[in-house]
Amino acid sequence: MKALYFLIPLFMVNACKTQTGTVISSENTNMEQVENTSSGCPEAGNCSVVLHKNKSLVVKEDGTGALYPEMTAGDNMVVEYTYLKEGPEGTADGNYSETIHFEIPNNVKKISKVNASLSDVKLLYGKHCFCKGEAGYYPITNGELSISTNNETLTFNLNFEVGKTSQVVSNISETVKL
């Protein structure tokens, strides 16, 4: 009888219901690289480009050594490209996104940067997901960026590889109104 009194609290703890619905674990899922369409955005998500005029991109480091971008007032233009893939409905941490930031002079006509010279434009890749050990910002030092502008548009082509983490976006070709 005493053993029964001891086991009752154990049964009550195990009987608690803590999760409802479908539970999806992202620990063992791998992101596949998707071929870009003619617009430069992978089919599985949505892409956007935002131009931040009269800004400067500052790459900062937090207390753990992780990098992050910060935009401050300045004389340049910061280009922010975002790829977003919505997660399954009902999941709190299911969204996946990648961002690319770089800074160029406001009055630039043409720029071409390759590999190590990509640091001149502070090219930064961000991966945002519930993916242990992979989320965060990474400087891009392997790739090719070409930019041209006229009075109305900014066109950029970027082919890159991060190397330190998996990525979905590796080729971007966009034209944006100034």
Cα separation, 136 vs 133, whole angstroms: 8
Output the pLDDT for position 1: 57
| pTM for the predicted model, two decimal places | 0.74
- Low-confidence spans in the chain with pLDDT less than 70: 1-40
Output the pLDDT for position 15: 54
Output the pLDDT for position 2: 59
Output the pLDDT for position 17: 45
Q: Are 137 and 57 in contact (CB under 8 A)?
A: no
pLDDT digits (tens, 9 = 90+) for 100-133: 999 999 989 999 999 999 999 999 999 999 888 8
Output the pLDDT for position 35: 32
Q: Are 54 and 73 in contact (CB under 8 A)?
A: yes
